[in-house]
Amino acid sequence: MSRIASLFDPMVKLLLLAILLAFLVPAIDRTLEIARAVSNGAIFLLFFVNGLRIDRREIVRSFARLGFFLPLLLWVFVAMALVGLGFAKLASGVLPPMVALGFLFLGTLPSTIQSATSYTIIAGGNVALSVVGAALVNIAGVFVTVPLFALLGGGVVANVGYETIIRIALLLVLPLLLGLSIQNRARNWIESRRSKLVWLDRVVIAIAVYVAFSGAVDQGIATQVTAIGWAWLFALVLLFLAVANFGSWMVGGLLQFPLADRIAFLFAASQKSVAIGAPLAALLFTPEVAGFIIAPLLLYHLVQLMLAAPLSTRLADRSLVQSHSSD
């Protein structure tokens, strides 16, 4: 039932709607240019609001738990990036090159704050660590993902030049820093509108996905990826998700984290962020390429929601058993 319920998550419905609209009514030529300009403006607004929402004090407090946060950063931006590189090479034999490269892009992305925190709460994990960890990884991702992706992608990665870096700085880094700088004055306003601002995330992501897939549809993604190719993509995404979850869970065990901390580490380390991935792809690539690149990310996001729900429920039972035994 929890897997079925996850299909009705508003973000899932918006992503599916954006993809469907891109296939049925793609933005092409002049319309695509206008849609991309709208998407860029929405991305600026989203990251400005993110800067308002992420409490600076949480980032400062993270330095008190380097034993948790340093392994988390290393797992997300080193281990998973290398896993993404391996999957990109593995997928290159069965998928179009840009779709295969999407696994490297997926591997270099940070985790998503909302999902990581929500599932940590359900599972009975350490919520404070989850919130701070996911926030720290997200801020780091704004600065780390692009150079890391360019470094590991080598000559295959195009369009990561001076102009692209400037565009990312203006549309991602600048609004984030602006939001962080004035958040004290806007704290009450943000807190009173937190539930409504969730829809800002969803709409901006949906617009970015629509623009990306419009370009991919125009380039013939429906014919370039065969039915067998989609099956391979689904299988590889499932395997990638298994590596992310099993690996992060084992790392938490090797580091001898308490169960609550281990749960927080699991979800903060394995929940990849479409909230950063889709806007970043829209800035990093032309729409004709971005739709191919984010295909693994979108499928990963949908599958992670379906699997994280029953996983968190099972971990909640384990947490309950442990708390009873400690009593």
DSSP code string of 117-159: HHHHHHHT--HHHHHHHHHHHHHHHHHHHHHHHHHHHGGG--S
CA distances from 272 to 28, 36, 111, 301, 323 (A): 29, 24, 4, 7, 30
Domain map of the chain by residue range? 2-320
Please tell me the pTM assigned to this model: 0.78
> Any bridge partners for residue 272, and if so which?
111
Model confidence pLDDT, tens digit, residues 196-218: 776 777 787 788 788 877 877 77
- What's the pLDDT score for residue 4? 46
Model confidence pLDDT, tens digit, residues 171-185: 777 887 888 888 777
CA 40-45-50 angle, to 5 degrees, is: 125
Which tokens sit at 174? 């600048």
- What's the pLDDT score for residue 114? 67
Contact 237, 296 (CB under 8 A): yes
| Architecture of the 2-320 domain | Up-down Bundle (1.20)
Say which residue, 92 or 215, is predicted with more confidence.
92
Q: Looking at residues 65-71, what average pLDDT do you find?
A: 86
CA distances from 237 to 88, 107, 216, 280 (A): 11, 11, 20, 20
| pLDDT band for position 242 (cuts 50, 70, 90) | very high
Q: What is the mean pLDDT of the chain?
A: 80
| pLDDT band for position 2 (cuts 50, 70, 90) | very low
